[in-house]
């Protein structure tokens, strides 16, 4: 699953867990976790990131 | 320290160890099931923690094997449904579309021309395959 998700790095995704859906740009998928940038790149900061354990992810949808 | 043992003795020792490990893993499963019966999020959080523990410790293959066993029935059902319409229900929502790929613990479903979904089969509740 990680290998498959790594092919989506830089793309817009929706990652669903049991409690909520996190939408944003997929930054990385490794070491048992998924990192999604939930807000746009602004200034020197690189936006807000959500870190999700892969084990808690129900599905990841590729939007664009 | 030196231990002198015959091949038979070493085999007996290894079998004993294997039985011990099996007993421990059966005990852990029944504890988790018991917690789930009582309801609440405690059981699911324990389950998630045990899954993460397996991912952190690459040397211990047992948690990984248990995780793959959990999704194995759904995975094997889906493997024979490639190219067919499926509905996959997970705790985070359901996915409907054409089954494009089945991998180790995951499935790729094409919802439309533009929408592709990778589903974690360890989180799947049920799967429905259309007869077409």
Q: What is the ipTM of this complex?
A: 0.87
First and final C-alpha spacing in chain A: 19
Give contacts of B44 with chain A, Cβ < 8 Å: 18
Q: Min CA distance, A64 vs chain B (Å)?
A: 7
Q: Pick left, alpha or beta for residue A47 (phi over 0 → left; psi -120 to 50 → alpha; otherwise beta).
A: left
Interface of B with A (CB under 8 A): 44, 48, 51-52, 55-56, 67, 88, 90-93, 95, 101, 103-106, 108, 111, 114-120, 122-123
Determine the Cα–Cα distance for residues A60 and A5; give it in Å rounded to an integer. 8
Phi then psi dihedrals of residue B81, to 5 deg: -115, 20
- The string of pLDDT tens digits covering residues B54-65 is 444 444 444 444
> Domain residues for A56?
2-62
pLDDT, residue B69, reads 57
> Shortest Cα distance from A45 to chain B (angstroms)?
29
Q: Which two tokens stand for residue B19?
A: 């039985």
Q: Is B44 exposed, middle or buried (0-12, 13-18, 19+ CB in 10 A)?
A: middle
* pLDDT score of B61: 45
Interchain pair B119, A55: CB under 8 A: no
Averaged over B101-118, what is the pLDDT?
91
Chain B nearest-CA residue for A3: B103
Tell me the residue ranges of DSSP E strands in A1-64: 12-17, 21-30, 33-37, 49-53, 57-62
Per the model's pLDDT, the better-predicted residue between B16 and B118 turns out to be B118
| Predicted structure pTM score | 0.61
Domain count, chain A: 1
Asked if B55 and A31 come within 8 Å (Cβ–Cβ), the reply is yes
**Do residue B119 and residue A58 have CB atoms under 8 angstroms apart?**
yes
CATH number at residue A40: 2.30.30.100
Nearest chain A Cα distance for residue B131, angstroms: 24
């Amino acid at each position: 699953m990680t290998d498959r998700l790594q092919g989506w790095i830089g793309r817009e995704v929706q990652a669903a867990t049991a409690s909520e859906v996190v939408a944003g740009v997929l930054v990385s998928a490794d070491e048992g976790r998924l990192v999604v940038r939930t807000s746009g790149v602004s200034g020197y900061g690189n936006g807000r990131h959500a870190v999700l354990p892969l084990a808690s992810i129900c599905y990841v949808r590729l939007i664009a | 320290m030196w231990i002198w043992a015959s091949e038979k003795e070493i085999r007996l020792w290894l079998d004993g160890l294997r039985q011990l490990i099996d007993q421990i893993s059966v005990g852990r499963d029944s504890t988790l099931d018991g917690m789930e019966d009582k309801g609440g999020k405690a059981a699911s959080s324990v389950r998630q923690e045990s899954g993460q523990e397996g991912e952190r410790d690459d040397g211990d293959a047992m948690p990984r094997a248990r995780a793959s066993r959990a999704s194995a029935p759904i995975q094997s059902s889906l493997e024979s449904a490639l190219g067919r319409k499926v509905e996959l229900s997970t705790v985070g929502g359901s996915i409907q579309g054409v089954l494009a790929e089945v991998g180790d613990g995951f499935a790729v479903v094409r919802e439309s021309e533009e929408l592709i979904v990778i589903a974690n089969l360890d989180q799947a509740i049920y799967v429905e395959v259309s007869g077409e």
